Amino acid sequence: MDVTIRGRNVEVSDGLRATAEEKVTRLSRHLDGWEHAEIHFSEEKNPRISAKEVCEVTVWGHGHVIRAKAASSDAFASVDRVIDKLEHQMEKLKSRIQSRSHPRRPVDSGHQNRLPTGDEAADSDESPSNESKIVKTKRFDIKPMTPEEAALHMDLLGHDFYFFTNADTGTAAVVYRRNDGDVGLIDAN
């Protein structure tokens, strides 16, 4: 696995770098085939926040993107917490993949569902003249999938919504987290 480590306004020591790289690389024991991981360290500047050391890890592979973020008073503890979160998400993904390939599972309606290969994020410096401004732009491949698969990706990324192409209808769709904790679906006409 290719691992990139960056510190945002914080110095990453050699010991922290080695520990983080080793623990993230070890994640592949849960599910082989993870291609790339990015580890970002940052520090909260608010003096009232005791959990100042933040670690965010994004892992790409198998056509999936998994992201987790954790904070604590020590950078090494933040790494441990984020690894725990990633292990949980990978086990969830692994069981989902295994249940999908189970021989007694009913055959889908003939659609081959492919999952997104990841997203390429690029910050944008352009802003419209009104009060709202776009501060970040993300571009990613949209592949057909079922709403259930889209909801799984939304959970794995830790987002409140997920944009995808509905394999059942062939149109653009969004799944989103409702206030009651359930998932909603918006499908284009």
pLDDT of residue 96: 78
- What integer pLDDT is reported at residue 15 of this predicted model? 93
pLDDT at residue number 34: 81
**pLDDT value for 84:** 93
**Structural tokens at position 180:** 């009651």
Instruction: Please count the CA atoms within 13 angstroms of the CA of 84 that sit on its side-chain side.
Output: 8
Starting at the earlier edge strand, list the strands of the sheet with 183-187.
Answer: 144-145, 161-166, 172-177, 183-187
Specify which residues 55 forms β-bridges with: 41, 70
Contacts by residues 19-28 (CB-CB < 8 Å, ≥ 24 positions apart): 19/76, 19/79, 20/55, 20/79, 23/79, 23/80, 23/83, 24/57, 24/59, 24/83, 24/86, 25/1, 27/1, 27/59, 27/83, 27/86, 27/87, 27/90, 28/1
Longest Cα–Cα distance of the chain, Å, equals 57
What are the tokens at 85? 């979160």
pLDDT < 50 stretches in the chain? 105-130
According to the model, what pLDDT value does residue 104 have? Answer: 56
Alpha carbon distance 22, 13 (integer Å): 14
How do 161-166 and 144-145 pair as beta strands? parallel
